Amino acid sequence: MPLPSDLPKIELHCHIEGAAPPALVRRLAGRHGIDVSGLFTKDGGYAWTDFSSFLAAYDRAAQVFRSAEDFADLAETYLFASAAEGVIYTEVFISPDHARRSGIPYADYLGGLAEGMARAEAGHGIIGRIIPLIERHFGPEAAHEAVRTALAHLHPRVVGFGMAGDERMFAVADFARAFALAHEAGLPLTCHAGEVCGAASVAEVIDALPVRRIGHGVRAIEDAALVRRLAEEGIVLEVCPGSNVALGVYPRLADHPLIRLRDAGVKVTLSSDDPPFFGTSIGREYAAIAETFALPPGEMLAFTQTALDAAFCDTATRARLQ
């Protein structure tokens, strides 16, 4: 049964710099005189071959955004494209570390993104919220600085806090202090794990941090006791199947554990992660999962409902979306 393209969708896991179309990155690089040689393939996509080179390409692409208006355009463009695919609410990850590295004041970075979201909401009805992230591979000291910056700028659209980056580096406990500051400030938490590393990486996060959600978390499937624990504790997975296949975590979508996790009682949602890097979009994620696992629209809508229940927004916003 083909999925209706207007099926309501909620996305909880997309990195804003990772949503930048290559053509936009090329254009901004030209405008700001930034060298992007080697960043693109001949076909105009991003050039990377594995998780490390993906993160390096991401870090380079992020560097071309230099002004509040650059970020306003990026957010508006992404939310507009999402709305056109049926997205009614989206939580976008932002990165104080990447703003610092680009030399843009965090207030301008955040303000630009919030402005772009406001334009998208006014024009297309889509609601956007923001989750600042620390980047694990930049280390605990940068993380501490980043959380302090994020907490000094609590815009009404900022609804949570989290960590992305290379889960092979450092221990989760090295970031516990940064997460504690965000938690004390009342922000709900999410953390990437169980993507390139196995189930132990997910367990390490939920042992060390009071997270409500895990970014990816799919390799929890390798440990049945951990799957039971995720189900019992109601920890929600922000699953990005296309990203997992593109990065070689699973050879084919049909091998992805999304449905096995769901059927084991784990709360799973669908997102696109870094859509142009992985040749995907939130609409394509929903469509590909529906087709690959032969799921009817009602079961696809359940992913949206789970995401709505797990969204970090306030209850009034959630009620508007019900």
Asked if 238 is part of the footprint of Zn ion (rule: CB under 5 A), the reply reads no
Tell me which of 59, 76, 273, 285 binds Zn ion, using CB under 5 A. Answer: 273
Binds 71: which of ligand ADE, Zn ion, none (CB < 5-8 Å by kind): none
Whose Cβ is closer to ligand ADE: residue 15's or residue 157's? 15
Residue 161-200 contact track with ligand ADE, rule CB under 6 A, x = bound? ---xx--------------------------x--x-----
15 carries a ligand binding annotation:
yes
Sheet of strand 213-216: strand arrangement: 9-15, 87-94, 127-135, 161-164, 189-193, 213-216, 236-239, 267-270
Nearest to 235 by CA among 256, 257, 264: 264
**Per CB under 5 A, does 11 bind Zn ion?**
no
DSSP bridge pairs for 162: 133, 190
Q: Assign 3-state DSSP to the chain and report helix, strand, coil percentages, each to 5.
A: 55, 15, 30
d(CA 294, CA 91): 27
Which candidate, 169, 177, 184, places its Cα nearest to that of 138?
169
Helix/strand/coil for 135: strand
Q: Could you give the CA distance from residue 97 to residue 105 in angstroms, rounded to a whole number?
A: 11
**Using CB under 6 A, which residues numbered 221 to 260 contact ligand ADE?**
243
**Token pair 């050039």 in the structure block, residue:** 47
Binding site annotation covers 274?
Answer: yes
Q: Smallest distance from the beta carbon of 85 to ligand ADE, in angstroms?
A: 20
Interface stretch with Zn ion, choices 21-29, 260-268, 270-278, 293-301 (CB under 5 A): 270-278
- Cα 92 to chain centroid distance, Å, stands at 6
Query: Does residue 119 touch ligand ADE according to CB under 6 A?
Result: no
Minimum CB–partner distance for residue 197 and ligand ADE (Å): 11
Residues 268, 269, 274: CA angle, nearest 5 degrees = 130
Q: Which is nearer to ligand ADE, 133 or 221 (CB)?
A: 133
CB 254 within 8 A of CB 295: no
Q: Which amino acid is at 306?
A: T
Active site residue 195: yes
Tell me if 309 is assigned to a ligand binding site: no
Alpha carbon 52 to chain centroid, angstroms: 17
299 Cβ contact partners less than 8 Å away, ≥ 6 residues apart: none
275 binds, among ligand ADE, Zn ion, none (CB under 5 to 8 A by kind): none
| Closer residue to Zn ion in complex, CB, 215/276 | 215
Shortest Å distance, C-beta 318 to ligand ADE: 26
Q: Which residues pair with 190 in a beta bridge?
A: 162, 213
Strands, E, within the chain: which ranges? 9-15, 87-94, 127-135, 161-164, 189-193, 213-216, 236-239, 267-270
Site string for ligand ADE, 282-301 (x = CB under 6 A): --------------------
**204 near Zn ion, judged by CB under 5 A:** no
Residue among 51 and 293 whose Cβ is closer to ligand ADE: 51
Catalytic residue, chosen from 195, 204, 238, 285, is 195
Of positions 11, 91, 274, 285, contacts ligand ADE by CB under 6 A: 274
- By CB under 5 A, what part of segment 212-231 binds Zn ion? 215
On whether 153 is known to bind a ligand per the annotation, the reply is no
> Which residues inside 49-108 make contact with ligand ADE, applying CB under 6 A?
58
Q: Tell me the catalytic residues.
A: 195
User: Interface residues with ligand ADE (CB under 6 A)?
Assistant: 15, 18, 58, 164-165, 192, 195, 243, 273-274
Which residue ranges are tagged as binding site for Zn(2+)? 13, 15, 192, 273
